[in-house]
């Protein structure tokens, strides 16, 4: 993740959509969809099944971001998670119109029997232009000529940030690459809940933590704000109740602990924050919950590891 926008003719600037990464595979008449953690999401997004309506290919692997809009008209991670975390697939016909999604395609790895991941990004993008037909729910991620101006717009709109991509770069499988650089307007992380407070019998704030390499659980902040609805907070109350323990799970003492109930770390959430000086041992500033996630608690690692 960068702190400034790189400049040069070989850089491409895109909006960083607040969605979930999704890879689409098509071969021998079958479309399958997987998220970033290799969990299948084929039935969560039936919009992608009619691939010939938007992609001219006999076989293909596409990479992109699945997004859904919130009430403010901006991409909302919380909204797209309403689709992505669905467990009862018989409800998809009900949820699909309630949470419409758009697949923002930004790369192609394989096309008609040929691996193209080693091609320069500029050539892969040219291939996408040839084979993808945009639809209301299928779009090619757009580029913007001035990265600094685009980032200023993201700041003004309070959106997540931008992604800067080196047009000369090959596709990097399963690892971070500084040729694809995120410049964020704010930070985000995934944390486990280690405690909570109550108001009116329901959870009204949670205490968050992450693990170090020795398995110690460290408090990193607390929040009672975010994109969770009243129903979500009630659901969280039910989720946390069976995990209440007497001993504090955190290695360090939280700022807010006198009226807290402790729980075994298990429920995980995506958290957005304005600042986090973790090098100085400070907790997150202005954290807010964006959504529940399916990350294992032990995989919520401190950023300096």
pLDDT digits (tens, 9 = 90+) for 131-176: 999 999 999 999 999 999 999 999 888 888 999 999 999 998 866 6
Q: pLDDT band for 280, please (50, 70, 90 cuts).
A: low
**Cα 9 → chain centroid:** 29
Q: Can you tell me the distance from the alpha carbon of 4 to that of 264, in angstroms, rounded to the nearest whole number?
A: 39
According to CATH, the topology of domain 18-140 is D-amino Acid Aminotransferase; Chain A, domain 1 (3.30.470)
Environment class of 224 (CB within 10 Å of its CB; exposed 0-12, middle 13-18, buried 19+): middle
- Per-domain residue ranges of the chain: 18-140, 187-299
Look at the pTM and tell me if it is higher than 0.95: no
Q: What is the DSSP string of the chain?
A: -BSS---STTEEEEE--SSEEEEEEEETTEEEEEETTS-B-GGG-GGGS-GGGTB--SEEEEEEEEE-B-TTSSB-HHHHHHHHT---GGGHHHHHHHS--EEEEEEEEEETTEE-TTS-HHHHHHHHHHHB--BTTEEEPP-BS-HHHHHHHHHHTT--EEEEEETTPPPPPSS--TTEEEEESSEEEEEEEEEEEEETTEEEEEEEEEE-TTS-EEEEEEES-BS--HHHHHHHHHHHGGGEESS---SSPPSS-TTPEEE-S--EEEEEESB--GGGTPPPBS-EEEEEE---GGG-B-TT-
**If pLDDT is split at 50, 70 and 90, which confidence band does 71 have?**
confident
Largest CA distance in the chain: 62
The pair of three-digit structure tokens given for residue 26, joined into one six-digit string: 């098509």
- The reported pLDDT for the residue numbered 262 is 97
Average pLDDT, rounded, for the chain: 91
| Greatest mean pLDDT among 10-24, 250-264, 270-284 | 10-24
Terminal-residue alpha carbon distance, the chain: 15
pLDDT exceeds cutoff 60 at 57: yes
Whether residue 269 is predicted with pLDDT greater than 80 in this model: the reply is yes
Average pLDDT of the residues in 177-205: 89
Question: In the predicted model, what is the mean pLDDT of residues 116-138?
Answer: 97
Which segment of 45-54, 129-138, 181-190, 210-219 scores lowest on mean pLDDT? 181-190
pLDDT at 101 over 90: yes
Q: Give the homologous superfamily in CATH for domain 187-299.
A: Nucleic acid-binding proteins (2.40.50.140)
pLDDT attached to residue 177:
66
Number of Cα atoms under 13 Å in the Cβ half of residue 281: 5
Q: How large is the average pLDDT for residues 114-128?
A: 97
Question: Do the domains 187-299 and 18-140 match in fold?
Answer: no
Residue 98 confidence (pLDDT): 93
Most confident of 112-126, 179-193, 250-264: 112-126
Q: In this predicted model, which residue has the larger pLDDT, 75 or 174?
A: 75
């Amino acid at each position: 993740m960068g702190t400034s926008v790189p400049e040069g003719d070989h850089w491409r600037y895109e909006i960083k959509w607040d969605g979930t990464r999704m890879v689409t595979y098509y071969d021998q008449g079958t479309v399958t969809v997987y998220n970033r953690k290799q969990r299948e999401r084929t039935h969560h997004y039936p919009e992608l099944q009619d691939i010939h309506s938007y992609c001219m290919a006999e076989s293909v692997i596409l990479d992109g971001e699945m997004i859904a809009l919130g009430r403010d008209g901006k991409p909302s991670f919380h909204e797209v998670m309403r689709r992505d975390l669905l467990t009862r697939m018989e409800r998809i016909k009900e949820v699909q119109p309630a949470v419409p999604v758009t697949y923002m395609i930004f790369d192609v790895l394989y096309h008609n029997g040929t691996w193209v991941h080693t091609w320069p990004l500029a050539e892969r993008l040219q291939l996408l232009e040839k084979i993808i037909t945009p639809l209301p729910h299928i779009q090619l991620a757009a580029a913007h000529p001035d990265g600094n101006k685009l980032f200023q717009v993201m700041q003004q709109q309070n959106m997540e940030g931008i992604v800067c991509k080196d047009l000369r770069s090959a596709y990097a499988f399963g690892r971070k690459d500084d040729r694809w650089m995120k410049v964020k307007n704010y930070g985000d992380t995934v944390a486990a809940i280690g405690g909570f407070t109550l108001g009116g019998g329901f959870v009204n704030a949670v205490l968050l933590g992450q693990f170090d390499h020795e398995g110690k659980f460290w408090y990193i902040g607390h929040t009672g704000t975010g994109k969770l609805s009243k129903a979500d907070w009630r659901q969280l109350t039910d989720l946390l109740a069976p995990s209440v323990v007497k001993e504090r799970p955190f290695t360090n003492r939280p700022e807010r602990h006198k009226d807290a109930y402790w729980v075994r770390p298990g429920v995980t959430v995506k958290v957005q924050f304005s600042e986090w000086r973790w090098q100085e041992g400070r907790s997150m500033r202005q954290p807010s919950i964006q959504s529940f996630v399916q990350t294992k608690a032990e995989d919520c690692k401190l950023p300096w590891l």
